[in-house]
Amino acid sequence: MKLSVLIPCYNERETIQEIVARVRAVDVRMRVRDGRFGLPVAADGTVELTVEKEIIIVDDGSQDGTRDLLPGLAALPDVFVHYHERNRGKGAAVRTAIEHATGDIMLVQDADLEYDPREYPALLQPIIEGRSQVVYGSRFLGGPRKAMLFWHMLGNKSLTLFTNILFDTILSDMETCYKVFTREVAQKLQLKSPGWGFDPEITAKILKRGYRIYEVPISYTGREYHEGKKIDWRDGLTVMWTLLKYRLTE
């Protein structure tokens, strides 16, 4: 089984090398309750499974020197780099990464250091065991986290509540970076939103196609705005409009 780690990247010169090192260092080995893999079954009915990884980086028109670092990363055997000549937005970068991914499972990983790749086994286990085809890592289910700004937290919870009302679900963190899904799901979504509309669009289309999202708690170390955090209240309006649009259309 193979995991494609999709890393959309825009002006992340300070963190791109470190996040790639952290992703590569993760040994995605776990005990799962599934005998489909032709592996020895332990007395408790589990098998030990090792997941192969590939890392797909899409540079979305960075102008801060990030591009100078990417050829060195592309020389690594499990890292593949693709470029947008101009900034097109996170959604466009994720779409390009999906187009080049070869894994059975795909996981979105931001290029900053807010999310910890050591969470991968917990994120993958529900999919590998057949409990769901989509898993979100939630920052609001009791995992350890650096305290958020109050208004940032309130914005996240408000957008998640709006999602739950529109799609009759009970998500706790729609805006999480950690979205994990099978190749089958990726092929059915036909994503279009270029920028911050990516998170609401993928969530809306997953739910409208009848997939239930499985959430697991994750840790979170949020950045401050002076450290490079890019989202603001105007992006929240984009998210709400996108949710409403895809609830009423496709």
Residues 111/8, Cβ–Cβ less than 8 Å:
yes
Instruction: Report the distance separating Cα 249 and Cα 40, nearest Å.
Output: 47
Instruction: Report the distance separating Cα 60 and Cα 83, nearest Å.
Output: 6
Nearest to 113, CA basis, from 226, 236, 227, 202: 227
Q: What is the pLDDT along the chain (250 residues), one digit of tens a residue?
A: 899 999 999 999 999 999 999 999 999 988 888 767 777 888 888 888 889 999 999 999 999 999 999 999 999 999 999 999 999 999 999 999 999 999 999 999 999 999 999 999 999 999 999 999 999 999 999 877 766 677 778 888 999 999 999 999 999 999 999 999 999 999 999 999 888 789 999 999 999 999 999 999 999 987 555 444 555 657 778 888 899 998 988 6
Burial class (CB in 10 A: 0-12, 13-18, 19+), 232: exposed
Q: What is the pLDDT of residue 231?
A: 58
Determine phi and psi for 116, rounding to 5 degrees.
-100, 115
3-state helix, strand, coil in the chain (%, to 5): 40, 20, 40
Please tell me what DSSP assigns to residue 82: E
Residue 250 falls inside a structural domain = no
Q: Output Rg (C-alpha) for the chain, integer angstroms.
A: 18
Q: What is the pLDDT of residue 66?
A: 97
Residue 206 falls inside a structural domain = no
Residue with tokens 């650096």: 146
Structural domain including 107 reads 2-147+173-191+211-225
Instruction: Report the distance separating Cα 123 and Cα 117, nearest Å.
Output: 10
Q: What is the pLDDT of residue 238?
A: 84
Q: What is the pLDDT of residue 226?
A: 45
In sequence order, what are the beta bridge partners of 30? 49
Number of independent structural domains in the chain: 1
Residues 11/64, Cβ–Cβ less than 8 Å:
yes
Q: What is the pLDDT of residue 235?
A: 75
Residue 186 falls inside a structural domain = yes
Q: What is the tens place of the pLDDT at every residue in 119-147?
A: 999 999 999 999 999 999 999 998 777 66
Q: What is the pLDDT of residue 223?
A: 57
> Residue 28 belongs to a domain with what CATH number?
3.90.550.10
Global pTM reads 0.90
Residue 117 falls inside a structural domain = yes
Instruction: Report the distance separating Cα 82 and Cα 88, nearest Å.
Output: 13
Residue 247 falls inside a structural domain = no
Q: What is the pLDDT of residue 34?
A: 75
Residue 93 falls inside a structural domain = yes
Q: What is the pLDDT of residue 126?
A: 94
Instruction: Report the distance separating Cα 82 and Cα 96, nearest Å.
Output: 8
Residue 244 falls inside a structural domain = no
Residue 45 falls inside a structural domain = yes
Q: What is the pLDDT of residue 233?
A: 56
